[in-house]
Amino acid sequence: MDRFLGRLERTFIARLAIERLATFIVGGMGITYVLCMARPEFMQHLVLVPSLVPSQPWRLVTFLFLPPRSSLLWVLLSLYFTWMVGSSLEQAWGALKFNIYYLLGALGITAAAFLTGAAQTNEFLNMSLFFAFATLFPDYEIRLFFVLPVKVKWLGLLSAAYVAYQFAIGGMSHRVAIATVFANYLLFFAGHMVERLKGRRVLVRQAARRAEQRPRDARAEARSADARACAICGKKQEDGADIRVCSCEVCGGVPRQLCLEHARNH
């Protein structure tokens, strides 16, 4: 995938990439939320409903801007987090790769809607952005409830469990939407996961080698300690003798081991 994207970046297609795409997405979600507060029924005209697309083609795009259905505070936090995630991905990948990732996810949701005939929203699409963020920045910390620091990788695992639960209990429309969106995730991150797995295997092998080497080093040190003995009286360092190395004229200029007593008087 990276090679294919590298080729695209060298073509005119790279100039078509939308810079700061996350800002436009989140801005649209914010505007939609305000409009839905004024007229709650407005939300129903934005959901991707396949049977209504021929007469209302805007639904192919407007479902991307559906905001969370919650309190104002939670919506503001969700919009900020979505913007932060999208902006971070664009900075890490570049505008073209982020655009393609988001576009393929949106096309996957659209395909799921037409395959099943059921209405679709942007829930799983936005969640796939979060999974991409958690994969690239696993140690990024978020203040849960503004107090508790939690690394994104743990939130990613909780979200994965939620998606798996939705896949298990949901209907066919949910399952197809999840499958298409996260097939896109795997398309982009399969190589990354393989590389990380290889790296972990290398670390495990290195740790095993170090564990095997420690007894050898200990035996070598023991043999070295045994070999440290006075050349005159034979006292050994392991028996408490203070062994020194001398290469004076008396020793013929050749280094030899002597106990402290014979090192001083020989």
Task: Please report, rounded to a whole number, the percentage of residues in the chain having pLDDT higher than 90.
Answer: 36
Do 109 and 166 fall within a single domain? Answer: yes
Do 58 and 189 fall within a single domain? Answer: yes
Helix (H) or strand (E) holding 259: strand 256-259
Do 166 and 63 fall within a single domain? Answer: yes
Which pTM value belongs to this model?
Answer: 0.70
Domain that holds residue 75: 2-193
Do 134 and 244 fall within a single domain? Answer: no
Maximum average pLDDT range among 11-20, 184-193, 208-217, 243-252: 184-193
Q: Facing residues of 149 across strands?
A: 143
Over residues 185-233, the pLDDT tens digits come to: 888 888 776 776 666 665 666 666 666 666 665 555 555 555 677 777 8
Helices (H), the chain: 2-9, 21-38, 59-62, 72-93, 95-116, 123-136, 152-169, 172-227, 260-264
CATH number at residue 148: 1.20.1540.10
Do 124 and 6 fall within a single domain? Answer: yes
Residues 155, 162: contact at Cβ < 8 Å?
Answer: no
